[in-house]
Amino acid sequence: MKRAALILTFVLALAFAASVQAVGVGAVVPNFSLAATDGKAVSLNDVKGKNGTVLIFVATRCPVSNGYNERMTALAKKYSSLGVNVVGINSNVTESPSEIKAHAAEKGFPFKVLVDKGDVAADKLDAQVTPEAYLIDAAGKLAYRGRIDNDRSGERVTASELADAIDAVLTGKAVAKTDVRAFGCSIKRTVE
């Protein structure tokens, strides 16, 4: 009996995994809703920028994500005047909405941070680590996914793929690197 239950659980898990199709580069990112740190529902359509939207999966406790706090803030400030909104998404089940809200305030984020209860956004985009960035162009298509840049410390950055992708989208050029592996702390999902 136990073996049959294990087999059924495995089959159901595979079926669920197959039914969740992550959005690929070039595909339209469907609208979804998450809670803001004040508990109010916010949809992707609500936070879209006129010229694009950057979603960055963040964490309060991840040293890699925290190492990018100043760079994420600078990125948001630089591109907001150009019609590109930056939005943080926290999908870690281990981090409470109050902790997420306090962290965003303490770090002075000039962008909204949404709480991804149930991994809705993380699953839709196949986000795995923090920080991990996704650039959605003005037409709603995923133009880039991956790391912000190539240096955890920020002292020896030689490649800034996210900024390069945003600049390409803003000037109507093709994004040179559309999918660059991100590094950081694993997202602590609801079901692991």
Q: What confidence tens digit (pLDDT) does each residue in 24-44 have?
A: 999 999 999 999 998 999 999
Q: What confidence tens digit (pLDDT) does each residue in 136-191 have?
A: 999 999 999 999 999 999 999 999 999 999 999 999 999 999 999 999 999 999 87
Residues 147, 64 contacting (CB under 8 angstroms): no
What is the Cα–Cα distance from 102 to 6, expressed in whole angstroms? Answer: 41
pLDDT, residue 6, reads: 38
Residue 117 counted as domain residue: yes
- The parent domain of residue 157 ranges over 23-186
Residue 129 counted as domain residue: yes
SS3 85: strand
Residue 77 counted as domain residue: yes
Q: How many domains does the chain have?
A: 1
pLDDT, residue 136, reads: 98
The CATH number linked to 64 is 3.40.30.10
